[in-house]
Structure 1
Amino acid sequence: MKPRSLLLLRASLGLLMLLWGVDKLVNVEHGLAVSERFYLGAFSSAALLKAFGAAQIALGALVVVGAARRYAYPVLLAVTGATLLGVWRSVVDPLGWYLTGANVLFYPS
């Protein structure tokens, strides 16, 4: 049971990284909007977003196949931790009953 659970966790987190990386490469405008809305415009450069997208694709692929775990997992933790900081309102109050700016779509992440 444990190996299967870890495989599913690794695959889901890696695929999430892959999807967000592809989104940054294919739809740069969406990445810019996300940066403006959730990260105070800190990453609002098309070239920077494309570089982040390529890095996310590489990281997602490493996580999915289980390669370079010693390096990939801490980087994955840092990226998902930064994402959590950006969308914390949606995690704490997904329905927006108490905090403004919450979005129920971010709750699962």
Structure 2
Amino acid sequence: MKHWTLLLLRISLGWLLVIWGADKLFNVAHSVAVANKFYFGLLTAESAMQVLGVIQIAIGVLIVIGLLCRWTYPLQALLNGLTLLAVLGSVIDPWGWFLQGSNALFYPSLIIFAASLLLIAFRDDERWALDIKRAAAH
């Protein structure tokens, strides 16, 4: 059961990065609006956003197939951690009782970040990652 759970977690978290990266690449206006609202307007140039999208897609695909996990998992945790920080008010006060602009729909950012850390913690327990297959071949 553990191996199936790690596989599902790896694929779903990796695909989330692919989806977010594709949004940056193909829906630049939306990504710029998100960066302006949640990331203090950092990297809002369209070309920078598209480059970030390509990088995010590449990291996501590597995670989905389980390749270079020693490097991609921490990058994923960093990206998801930055997202968590950007919406931290919604995690602390999801219903906006005290913090204006909070949104309960952003609470799962905490869960996504925790799942990213879980993948790092159990990386050596994965059975169906390409990294494991490559290591076994050597």
TM-score, with length taken from structure 2: 0.76
CA distance in 2, matches of 1:24, 1:78: 17
CA distance in 1, matches of 2:107, 2:73: 22
CA distance in 1, matches of 2:19, 2:37: 19
CA distance in 1, matches of 2:71, 2:56: 14
- The gaps in structure 1 that reach 5 residues or longer are none
Counterpart in 2 of 1:67? 67
- The gaps in structure 2 that reach 5 residues or longer are 110-138
Counterpart in 1 of 2:48? 48
Aligned-residue Cα RMSD (Å) equals: 1.0
- In terms of mean alpha carbon deviation, does 93-102 or 39-48 score higher? 93-102
Q: What SS does the corresponding residue of 2:108 show, helix, strand or coil?
A: coil
CA distance in 1, matches of 2:95, 2:65: 35
Q: What SS does the corresponding residue of 1:102 show, helix, strand or coil?
A: coil
CA distance in 2, matches of 1:11, 1:96: 32
CA distance in 1, matches of 2:51, 2:102: 28
- Identity %, equivalent residues: 50
| TM-fit CA distance, 1:93 | 1.6
Counterpart in 1 of 2:81? 81
Counterpart in 2 of 1:22? 22
CA distance in 1, matches of 2:97, 2:64: 36
TM-score, with length taken from structure 1: 0.95
Q: Tell me which stretches of 4 or more aligned residues in structure 1 moved more than 2 Å.
A: none
**Bigger Rg, which one:** 2
| TM-fit CA distance, 1:99 | 1.1
Aligned length: 109
| TM-fit CA distance, 1:11 | 1.1
CA distance in 2, matches of 1:62, 1:29: 26
Q: What SS does the corresponding residue of 2:101 show, helix, strand or coil?
A: coil
CA distance in 2, matches of 1:97, 1:43: 31
| TM-fit CA distance, 1:44 | 1.2
CA distance in 2, matches of 1:46, 1:52: 10
Counterpart in 2 of 1:5? 5
2:80 counterpart of 1:107: no
